[in-house]
A = this chain, B = another copy of it.
Amino acid sequence: MSVLVVGSVALDTIKTPFGRKKDILGGSATFSSVSASLFCPVNLVAVVGKDFPKKYIKFFNSKGVNTQGLTIEEGKTFRWEGEYGWDFADPKTISTDLNVFASFNPKLPIQYRKAKHIFLANIDPRIQEKVLRQIAKPRLVACDTMNYWIEKKKRQLIKLLKKVDVFLVNESEAKEFTTEANLITAGKNLLKFGPKVIIIKKGEHGVFLFSHNHIFAIPAFLLETVYDPTGAGDTFAGGFMGYLTKCKKYTKNHLRNAVVYASVMATFAVEDFSLKKLSKVTIADLNKRIKEFRKYTTF
């Protein structure tokens, strides 16, 4: 079983208290693909410009990420520049240049169209839907978004959510989408838009999962050294989907374990810039940290 991921592949310029890195590999589809690739093959759908370094395509392939769906178009790759303070809260966006993403019209390679597990990583909901429409019979569709689309394209997003099984949002997005200050109320409210499962990511404060008959909550696996939180949410989503490709059913326990694996995967993303640490993680590293996590949350 593989996961199909659509989202952004970007060149990020990031400043944190630990330094500034220019044009490093980033983007929602990048982090989620590489994260999912620890569990299963990944089919990537995205667009980059002619300036996109070949070495990154080789890197994707080396991780088992199929780049047949990564279109290379005339123009420049999507760029984002952001800055984090010491608290590593939401970054200040310095600039966003959509570039080739502004006009991206994804056409899936034939063999992608039979995909069963789909992750619609954060990108314009119009693009997310265009991809989803090309897939014959998905079995599990998860979708992420960001405040920008909630503010600018809520109608398209609501339309999309009807076809989505799992909706992943962070705390502020859940509150903004529902205009509810209480997280349980927000979670229940989001379920009404169609998804069977709502996952609210709270960064260093952990994760909540809501379904119609089930709530699950875990704290975050605390790290003493966070270098760059970019991509943590996408890494979470990739780990979540990757884990579930291994499952024949999606019971409460499968979903809980997927959330735990996803959370721990995300910790590797933030321990260095770009995918420097994440790309080196092995299943043994992951299991070791999950064991520690279990140890410090069990009562």
Interface residues of A (CB under 8 A from B): 86-88, 181-185, 202, 204-206, 208, 215-220, 222-226, 253, 256-257, 259-260, 294, 296-299
Contact of A217 with B260 in the complex, beta carbons under 8 Å: no
Contact of A219 with B222 in the complex, beta carbons under 8 Å: no
Contact of B299 with A218 in the complex, beta carbons under 8 Å: yes
A-B contact pairs, 15 of them (CB 8 A): A86-B181, A182-B223, A205-B206, A205-B219, A206-B206, A208-B222, A216-B296, A216-B299, A217-B296, A218-B219, A218-B299, A253-B299, A257-B299, A259-B299, A260-B299
Contact of A297 with B217 in the complex, beta carbons under 8 Å: yes
Q: How far is the CB of A295 from chain B (nearest CB, A)?
A: 9
Contact of A87 with B256 in the complex, beta carbons under 8 Å: no
Q: How far is the CB of A265 from chain B (nearest CB, A)?
A: 15
Contact of B208 with A205 in the complex, beta carbons under 8 Å: no
Question: Which residue from B181, B217, B218, B298 sits with its C-beta under 8 Å from A87?
Answer: B181
Q: How far is the CB of A183 from chain B (nearest CB, A)?
A: 6
Contact of A182 with B296 in the complex, beta carbons under 8 Å: no
User: How far apart sit A208 and B204, CA to CA, in the bound complex (Å)?
Assistant: 12
Contact of B222 with A183 in the complex, beta carbons under 8 Å: yes
Q: Which residues of B contact A184 (CB under 8 A)?
A: 222-224
Q: Which residues of B contact A217 (CB under 8 A)?
A: 219-220, 222, 296-297
User: How far apart sit A10 and B260, CA to CA, in the bound complex (Å)?
Assistant: 43
Q: Which residue of B lies closest to A299 (CB)?
A: B256
Q: Which residues of B contact A259 (CB under 8 A)?
A: 299
User: How far apart sit A216 and B206, CA to CA, in the bound complex (Å)?
Assistant: 14
Most buried by B among A184, A224, A257: A224
Question: Which residue from B202, B218, B296 sits with its C-beta under 8 Å from A215?
Answer: B296
Q: How far is the CB of A66 from chain B (nearest CB, A)?
A: 31
Contact of A182 with B297 in the complex, beta carbons under 8 Å: no
Known pairs A88-B181, A294-B299 / 9 extra A-B pairs, C-beta < 8 Å? A182-B224, A182-B226, A205-B206, A205-B219, A206-B206, A216-B296, A216-B297, A218-B297, A298-B298
